Structure 1
Amino acid sequence: MMHSHLPHTDIVGYYQFITFRTFDSTDSFLQKLFMEEKENSKKQLTADLHLDESQQGAYLHGEVLSYLNDFIINKNQELYQLVAFCIMPNHVHLLIKTLMPLATMMNIFKGISAKEINNIMNRKGTFWAQSYYDKAIRDQKHFDVVYNYIKNNPSKLIETNTTTPRFYGIYEE
């Protein structure tokens, strides 16, 4: 969920769709959106579409993209069972099976990766937004929809200067 006061679905062994973003990717449009009385899944879809088009907080490219790509793959079986991910310029989507409580996994993931990304960027301070969105996968149809969303999300980008893929999926190896 995007607000820290909303409950997360936190059952070890469940497949989860997780979205998290850079600390300054939120602009006034998203701040207003999260204040609205809308269903969370509708808010998340609107937020994802906005983040896909926004350059706000777009740090996930070049050496940072390469590091994060390797980090996500290297943490497979340690923090989660990885199914798929995509790295957009200002946010990340994961489809995983949890191996530990989600809050613990996200704290470890964000903490380690933020420290290294800050080193790469020669900066200090917060890198990831505190909140994240999570959605437990309900069934095979939901799993397929999420997998395909993650797979197709990077195709919205027009990039000419990257050799690091923005998508990884176990069914694409």
Structure 2
Amino acid sequence: MEAQKTRSPLKPEGEWHSRGFLPHWEAGETPQAIFFRLADSMPVHVRERWVEELDNDPNALPAGELRRRLEAVLDAGFGEAFLCRPTIGPIIETALLYFDGDRYRLHAWCVMPNHVHVLLTPIGDHALSAIVHGLKSYTAKEINKILGRRGKVWFEEYFDRKIRNEKHFEDAHFYIEQNPVKAKLCVKASAWGYSSASYSRCRS
């Protein structure tokens, strides 16, 4: 990833921007909880139903409800769900750690089988959209190399949420590290292979 460090960050497209399905907010140096997912992690009929609901009534799915629905579907493990394979998990984790302290401060993360949760604070003029784009672009290329294939790895959208206060920060941190436990993939957070909970344990 060395070549990527010399690139200029992409500038925010205004405070609010959207690529059609989810709104995104560039909050500057404010902690943000984000998640992004594999392209095949949501059944097409589910996404089409939600889009239809939003087309009929833009307020039909408030942000909180949409997030809860997304997380429930993702935790069900649809799609190939290959992110936690021993050949793939380290690619995601290494990419997240690589720019910690440079483009962002990384507070917590968790690589789930078909999606990734991250809690971070952008640094300086590094836009959140550029940070996510860089992570997804690099990891997609590396994953395709490992899998010996071409094509889309990540769904083009991502979910982001500005952290409001200290309690919200702690709640988000806890949720991210506990996600594998909630999804019944392990009995304690530190047992999950690719997360800040297990990384902290390994380095202690």
Structure 1: 5+ residue stretches without partners: none
Query: What's the TM-score once normalised by structure 2's chain length?
Result: 0.75
Where does 1:1-173 land on structure 2 (aligned, <5 Å)?
Answer: 4-5=19-20, 6-27=22-43, 28-36=45-53, 37-62=60-85, 63-99=87-123, 100-155=126-181, 156-158=183-185, 165-168=193-196
Identity value in percent: 28
Tell me how many residue pairs correspond in the alignment. 169
The one-letter code sitting in structure 1 at the alignment partner of 2:133 is N
Q: CA deviation at 1:171?
A: 7.2
The one-letter code sitting in structure 1 at the alignment partner of 2:152 is T
Q: CA deviation at 1:97?
A: 0.3
Q: Which has the higher contact order (CA 8 A, sep 6+)?
A: 1
User: 8 Å contact 1:55–1:89 — kept in the other structure?
Assistant: no
Query: What's the TM-score once normalised by structure 1's chain length?
Result: 0.87
Cα distance in structure 2, aligned partners of 1:79 and 1:57 = 30
Q: CA deviation at 1:168?
A: 0.5
User: 8 Å contact 2:180–2:192 — kept in the other structure?
Assistant: no
**Does the residue aligned with 2:28 lie in a helix, a strand or coil?**
coil
**Does the residue aligned with 1:94 lie in a helix, a strand or coil?**
strand
Structure 2 CA distance for partners of 1:44 and 1:111, relative to 1, 3 Å:
same
The one-letter code sitting in structure 1 at the alignment partner of 2:19 is S
Larger radius of gyration: 2
Q: CA deviation at 1:80?
A: 1.5
Cα distance in structure 1, aligned partners of 2:165 and 2:51 = 27
**Does the residue aligned with 1:150 lie in a helix, a strand or coil?**
helix
The one-letter code sitting in structure 1 at the alignment partner of 2:150 is K
Cα distance in structure 1, aligned partners of 2:88 and 2:184 = 17
Q: CA deviation at 1:72?
A: 1.2
Cα distance in structure 2, aligned partners of 1:31 and 1:75 = 35
